């Protein structure tokens, strides 16, 4: 580990401890918008106003929005509305004002979050759920997944299940990892699918100046300008946009029991990434039909984007290939019980024996080594017990061997996707402390340099 990384980790740890000691008052989400409706709001909504909670009321800018008795059940917190907003494919709600999510505002608040439950009918085209300026968009486009589009451009990142006529919770959290430069801001996205822990993530994404320069607002159920292809078809429940990279404990969704946890960042300590097979593919769900959750991961086969090393002959390890080591960073301290791994598609290159080490200080120090063997078979996810519950917010994985001699390949080491199973700790930190911890992770990510 470089001295630079050690210094940064000491800084993060000391600052987080200081804030934890000094925090005497909990901070809360800064709502840009949050629409929550009940049966008593029917006349208000029919008149063109959607009640805001801790935020301005929304204005029905296009068509007519009605209320529906069809509401979700899973994950809904106490005190939520007893009605959902019903969009018929030609309606939308705009927030008063413009430029609520300028990149400088995002930087000043340490990020932002979109979240909502959605029940699409399956009709329509882009199906905007939440849309800032027409550029940063949570959508259900083409089904069956809910996705997030950045800068109004591809790729469309898979966020959550978007099966027609089913309620699913989707959330997007952006954490800056570098200051605004040239008007743009770079950071990491975490995605949440029916859970308040990340189910997939993508790192080093830049939000351009495109949206900032359009002088537009945030819309729910449509594009802010009411573009015909963008209207949502179905119901949306409790849509909220918040400033700050909120920890899971402050998201609307209330998870119960063990969850499938995606790392929110990573560090390639040793080894390599071959061509179009980066480490990023291990955490972004790009080879799965939808982001995995504790309920669906066993039914999801992997096919497509994977991670693998450069080649060494006659086989990777005897040919002098460096033992790959990857750190995976979580967004909180979790009590972990299992590793879930989808293995590489070339049999001899598939990862075999791995050593896991665990950290509760963001990767400054590791301990509790555990050796596991990942089954060779590609396609399904393999659940490997850790043998005990281990608290960690970072896990270092050393790839000790591959399946050389058992089929084609053996000159590389690879893996397709990786998750952990665990629960949030019994003691949830004060929101101020938790938010600062996320800021610390962002600073760490900003300073870290990945091996090429």
Give the tens place of pLDDT for each residue, 14-64: 433 433 333 322 345 699 999 999 999 999 999 999 999 999 999 999 999
**What's 373's DSSP letter?**
E
- The superfamily (CATH) of domain 257-427 is Galactose-binding domain-like (2.60.120.260)
* pLDDT of 131 over the 90 cut: yes
Which phi-psi region, left, alpha or beta, contains residue 44 (left: φ > 0; alpha: ψ -120 to 50)?
A: alpha
**What's 302's DSSP letter?**
P
> Higher-confidence residue: 169 or 433?
169
Tell me, yes or no, if the two domains 30-250 and 257-427 fold the same way.
yes
Residues 315-325: tens digit of each pLDDT: 999 999 999 99
* pLDDT of 452 over the 80 cut: no
Which position has the token pair 């068509």? 63
- Determine the average pLDDT of the residues in 405-429: 86
pLDDT at site 144: 87
Nearest to 31 by CA among 246, 236, 221, 282: 246
Element (H, E) at 437: helix 431-447
How far from 215 is each of 31, 34, 182, 240, 357, CA to CA, in Å?
Answer: 20, 21, 18, 20, 48
pLDDT at site 432: 37
pLDDT classification of 425: cutoffs 50, 70, 90? low
- Percent pLDDT > 70 in the chain is 87
Domain ranges of the chain: 30-250, 257-427
Residue 411: both structure tokens together: 């000159």
- Would strands 382-399 and 325-343 be described as parallel, antiparallel, or unpaired? antiparallel
Residues 218-267: tens digit of each pLDDT: 999 999 999 999 999 999 999 999 999 999 989 999 988 999 999 999 99
> Higher-confidence residue: 173 or 3?
173
pLDDT at site 197: 95
**CA pair distance 107, 91, nearest whole angstrom:** 32
Residues 343-375: tens digit of each pLDDT: 999 999 999 999 999 999 999 999 999 999 999
3-state helix, strand, coil in the chain (%, to 5): 15, 40, 45
Query: Which class is 30-250 in CATH?
Result: mainly beta
Taking the C-alpha atoms of 282, 286, 291 and 295 in order, what is their torsion angle to the nearest 10 degrees? -70
Beta bridge partners of 250: none
pLDDT at site 411: 98
Residue 241: both structure tokens together: 């946009």
**pTM for the full model?**
0.88
**CA pair distance 85, 92, nearest whole angstrom:** 10
pLDDT at site 446: 39
Buried b (16+ CB within 10 A) or exposed e, 105-124: bbeebbbbbbbbbbbbbeeb
**CA pair distance 70, 82, nearest whole angstrom:** 9
Average per-residue pLDDT for the chain: 89
Evaluate whether 276 touches 217 at the Cβ level (below 8 Å): no
pLDDT at site 441: 43
């Amino acid at each position: 580990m470089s001295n630079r990384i050690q210094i940064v980790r000491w800084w993060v740890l000391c600052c987080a401890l200081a804030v934890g000691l000094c925090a005497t008052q909990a901070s809360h989400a800064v709502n840009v918008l949050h629409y929550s409706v009940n049966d008593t709001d029917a006349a208000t909504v029919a008149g063109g106003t959607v009640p805001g909670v801790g935020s301005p009321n929304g204005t029905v800018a296009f068509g007519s929005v009605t209320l529906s008795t069809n509401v979700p059940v899973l994950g809904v917190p106490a005190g939520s509305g007893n009605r959902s907003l019903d969009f018929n494919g030609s309606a939308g709600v705009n927030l008063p004002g413009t430029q609520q999510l300028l990149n400088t505002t995002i930087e000043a608040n340490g990020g932002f979050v979109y979240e909502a439950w959605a029940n699409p009918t399956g009709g329509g085209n882009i199906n905007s759920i939440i849309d800032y300026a027409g550029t940063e968009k949570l959508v259900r486009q083409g089904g069956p997944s809910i996705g997030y589009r950045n800068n109004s451009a591809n790729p469309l990142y898979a966020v959550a299940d978007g099966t027609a006529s089913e309620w699913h919770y989707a959330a997007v959290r952006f954490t800056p990892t570098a200051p605004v430069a040239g008007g743009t801001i770079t950071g990491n996205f975490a995605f949440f699918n029916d859970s308040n822990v990340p189910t997939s993530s993508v790192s080093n994404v830049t939000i351009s100046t495109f949206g900032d320069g359009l002088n537009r607002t945030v819309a729910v159920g449509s594009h802010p300008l009411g573009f015909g292809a963008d209207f949502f078809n179905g119901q949306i429940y409790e849509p909220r946009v918040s400033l700050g990279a909120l920890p899971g404990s402050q998201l609307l969704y209330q998870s119960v029991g063990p969850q499938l946890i995606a790392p929110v960042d990573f560090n390639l300590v040793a080894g390599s990434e071959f061509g179009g097979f980066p480490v990023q593919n291990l955490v972004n769900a790009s080879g799965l039909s939808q982001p995995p959750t504790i309920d669906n991961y066993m039914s999801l086969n992997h096919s497509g984007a994977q991670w693998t090393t450069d080649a060494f002959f006659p086989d990777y390890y005897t040919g002098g290939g460096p033992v790959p080591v990857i750190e995976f960073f979580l967004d909180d301290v979790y009590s972990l019980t299992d590793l879930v791994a989808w293995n590489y598609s070339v049999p001899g290159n598939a990862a075999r024996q791995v050593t896991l080490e665990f950290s509760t200080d963001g990767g400054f120090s590791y301990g509790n080594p555990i050796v596991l063997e990942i089954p060779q078979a590609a396609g399904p996810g393999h659940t490997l017990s850790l043998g005990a519950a281990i608290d960690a917010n970072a896990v270092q994985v050393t790839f000790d061997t591959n399946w050389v001699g058992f089929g084609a390949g053996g000159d590389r080491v690879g893996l397709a996707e990786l998750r952990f199973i665990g629960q949030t700790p019994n003691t949830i930190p004060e929101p101020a402390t938790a938010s600062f911890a996320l800021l610390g992770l962002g600073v760490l990510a900003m300073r870290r340099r990945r091996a090429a």
